[in-house]
Amino acid sequence: MESKEKLIELLKKQVAVEKTNVKEVGETEKKVGFAAAKLFLNIIRLDSRKHMEILNGIMQVLDGIPPGKTLWEHQVDSYIDPFVVQRELENHMSREAEMIRHVEKEIKQTQDEGLKLLLQHIANDEKKHHEILESVTNHLHRVNP
Residues 62 and 126 in one domain: no
Residues 57 and 91 in one domain: no
The pTM for the full model equals 0.79
Work out how many domains the chain is built from and give that number.
Answer: 2
What CA–CA distance (Å, rounded) separates 90 from 85? Answer: 9
Residues 30 and 68 in one domain: yes
27-41 per-position pLDDT tens digit: 999 999 999 999 999
What CA–CA distance (Å, rounded) separates 86 from 101? Answer: 23
Residues 22 and 54 in one domain: yes
- Cα–Cα distance list, 28 to 21, 22, 78, 112 (Å): 10, 10, 43, 24
Residues 73 and 86 in one domain: no
Residue 62 in contact with residue 8, Cβ under 8 Å?
yes
Residues 129 and 64 in one domain: no
63-110 per-position pLDDT tens digit: 888 777 787 777 766 667 778 888 899 999 999 999 999 999 999 999
Task: Provide the pLDDT for residue 143.
Answer: 57
Q: Which domain holds residue 126?
A: 81-145
DSSP 53-113: HHHHHHHHHHHHPPTT--TTT---SS---HHHHHHHHHHHHHHHHHHHHHHHHHHHT---H
Residues 37 and 65 in one domain: yes
